[in-house]
A = this chain, B = another copy of it.
Amino acid sequence: MTKQISKRRQSEKPKAHTGEPTNGPITAEELQLAVRNHSLPLEALRDDITPAGLHYLLTHFDIPHIEADTWHLRIGGAVQRAVEISLRALRRDPAISIPVTLECAGNGRSLLRPRPLSQPWRLEGVGTAVWTGVPLAYLLAQAGVDEDAVEVVFTGADAGIQGGVRQQYGRSLPIKEAMRPDVVLAYEMNGRELPPQHGYPLRLVVPGWYGMASVKWLESIQVVTHPFDGFQQSVAYRYQKNADDDGTPVTRIKVRSLMIPPGIPDFFTRSRVLSPGPVMLKGRAWSGEGAVVRVEVGIDGKWVPAHLGHPAGPFAWCEWTLPWVADRGEHELACRATDATGSVQPLEQVWNYQGLGNNVVQRVKVNVE
């Protein structure tokens, strides 16, 4: 399949999305995806570690059914010793547990104008879990990576069609990222066997990178000496200006913060009502590029620094809090994080063709009455 793509003429190059971005209404296909994939309800931002079933979930194709007893992970390609390893054997290897915030690269897409046609996330394509498993670097060291290796390709058991290309979901990592000590082949989530929807029996977790890198339902790991050009690498998950732009690859998670909407919701509009008086505003902030160093809360356009908690790990979100005394009337609340690289969330989103890497400031309207 990889070769199929590279042999095509540029004009025939498959597209990541079906149809051009639109200012029109939500389509039947987008609704279907919105219903099928799962968001984090914003009130679940109260938890350091997201309980099972509340973590965001994007399933590109179908959730495959895998029998762990007969399943093997194959490690091969540009290595000294190809390896085939069972889940039982993997569980005997040295294990690490690491809390990681994962966010979908398309989070926030439905708020863009025009709106790229794909999973129409609002702001809730995120979650934090503790992943337990074997460091990828440990297994790669056992296999012995060849000196001319440039990338490691991960292929999942999930199969389908995207952009007209029949494929199993596959992504690569540069060797340097693959050899990081915190990149893990996980068989547990939050201390329990991986749920089917999160990649049972084994998935990759790449802390700091958007979720597309953390390949689920792993079948094979291939070390390669040329950059991987599978669909999910060379077509999807690229920052493009338009359909003809080759673009640049999506990698690390941009700095973002979200707020638990205070008060109580209206069922249909989800608009918020709260009583006058003191209220503790709370939320989470994260970045894949460096620690979060500042969160400011906007109250009717005036920015106030929030108190920052300690994250459970270097790539896990941290809590922020700000006491507020709400007075009657309509108010607009917002939150804005800055990370150690100096990156700060934008007040207006810079648009890109696939709607990726959004991190615009969240705004929450509340009615105090």
Contacts and interface: CB of A to CB of B under 8 A. Distances in A.
Contact of A161 (B17, B57, B118, B265): B265
A162 B53 contact: no
Contact of A268 (B18, B25, B159, B266): B18
A196 B62 contact: no
A26 B18 CA distance: 19
A93 interface: no
B160 A53 contact: no
Contact of A54 (B41, B46, B110, B197): B197
A59 B264 CA distance: 13
Given A36-B39, A39-B36, A266-B160, A31 B62 contact: no
A124 interface: yes
Contacts of A29: 268-270
Given A35-B124, A162-B268, A196 B63 contact: no
Interface of A: 17-18, 24-36, 38-39, 41, 43-44, 46, 51-55, 57, 59-63, 65, 110, 117-118, 120-122, 124, 159-162, 166, 195-198, 264-270, 273
7 contacts: A25-B27, A31-B34, A32-B122, A43-B65, A53-B55, A159-B264, A166-B264
Given A31-B31, A41-B197, 7 more contacts: A17-B268, A29-B270, A38-B38, A43-B63, A52-B52, A61-B267, A162-B266
